[in-house]
Amino acid sequence: MTRNLPTPDAPMKIGTRGSPLALAQAHETRARLAAAFAIAEDAFEVVVISTTGDRVQDRPLKDLGGKGLFTREIEEALLRGTIDIAVHSMKDMPVEQPAGLTLGCYLPREDVRDAFVSAEPGGVEDLPEGAVVGSSSLRRRAQLLNRRPDLQVVEFRGNVQTRLRKLSEGVARATFLAMAGLNRLGADDVPATPIAPETMLPAVAQGAIGIERRTSDSRTAAMLEAVHHPPTAHRLAAERAFLKALDGSCQTPIAGLAELDGSTLRLRGEILRTDGSQSLDDDRSAPVEDGAALGREMAEALLARAGKGFFDWR
C-alpha cells in the first residue's frame, strides 16, 4: 500500500458539494485518511462540484425529482475519473448506486437528532397558534403538523447559513436543522434545542457521512477500509433497507433510526401522510447481522397497516 499512497504531486481527489457543511465533511474525510496513513493532508485535493439541488433554490425538492439532486453530478465526475472518491451526507443518498460505483465506507456517525431553531425561548409546544415555521423537509413538515396542525409551514430551502438568514429576516419564527450539521460546523452560537428521537424520529441515515468510490478501484478500497466505521455501517444497513422497501424518496415522509446495544440492533420507523394527519410507527429488535432483514420486515409491516394510497394521499 505504501507504494501507492497519494502524494502532493499526485493527490487523491475528493469530490464534494460546495456548502460549508459539505466542505467540513470533506475536510474530515481528508484528515482521517491522512492520519490513518501518516501522510500530509495536501496529498488529498478537495474538488467542489455544483449539483442540481445546490443550483435550484426556488422550488421544493419534491418538484425537482427527490433524492439524487445532491449527488448526481458528483457521481458522474466519479465515473469519469475526474475525482477518486465522493463524500456524501447519507440522508441525501438514493438507496441505489449507479453501475460501477460502490458505497461501502462510513465515518463514525454524529448526533442523529433534529434541532429546533428559534431566537425565541421554548420549543414546538411553546409556539403560538398559527405561527409560521420554515422547513424544506417533508418528514419534518409532516411530523410537525402531526403534533401541531394549527401551525403554518413554509418552504425553507438552502444551506445552514441561508436558513439562519431567512430566520433572522422574519420569514418564519422557527425552523429545524440537524444537530450533526451544527456540530460539524462548530455552530455553538445557533439558538438550537436538540429534540429527542422519542419526540421527533430523525431521517434515515441522518448524521452519517458516506464515501463512494469506483467499484474497480482497489487502491482506494484498501485506503477507505482504514477509516471505515462498522457500527455505523450496521445501523445504516437496517435503516436504508427500511427506506428501500418503502421506496423512500424526498416525496415521502419517512423516519428511521437504528441503534446498537452490544450484538442487538434496535430499529424504530415511522411513516406519515404528507399533511401530518396520520402517523404509523414500529419498534423492533434483532441480532445485528439481521439488520437489513429487520428493516425490510418493518417496512412491509407498516405498509400493510397503511393500506393502498397512504403516500399518495393529498
Active site residues: 92
Residue 29 main-chain phi, psi, to 5 deg? -60, -45
State the amino acid at position 234 in one-letter form.
H
Crossing angle of helices 218-225 and 20-37, in 10° steps, is 90
Amino acid code (one letter) for 111: D
What residues form DSSP beta bridges with 210? 88, 106
Cα–Cα distances (Å) from 291 to 211, 240, 245, 301, 312, in that order, read 21, 10, 13, 15, 28
Give the number of C-alpha atoms closer than 13 A to the C-alpha of residue 48, restricted to the C-beta side. 9
**Cell numbers 445501523: residue:** 235
Instruction: Give which of 155, 157, 211, 206 is closest to 183, Cα–Cα.
Output: 206
- Alpha-carbon span 213 to 81, nearest angstrom: 10
Half-sphere exposure of 221 (CA within 13 A, CB side): 9
Produce one character per residue of 117-154: b if its CB has 16 or more CB atoms within 10 Å, e if not: bbeeeeebeebeeebbbbbbbbbbbbbbbbebeebebe
> How far is the C-alpha of 165 from the C-alpha of 160, rounded, in Å?
9
- Distance, in Å, from the CA atom of 133 to the CA atom of 93, rounded to the nearest integer, reads 26
Is residue 214 within a helix (H) or strand (E), and if so which, with residue range?
strand 209-214
For residue 283, the cross-strand partners are: 268
C-alpha cell belonging to residue 36: 490513518
Q: Residue type for 146, please?
A: N
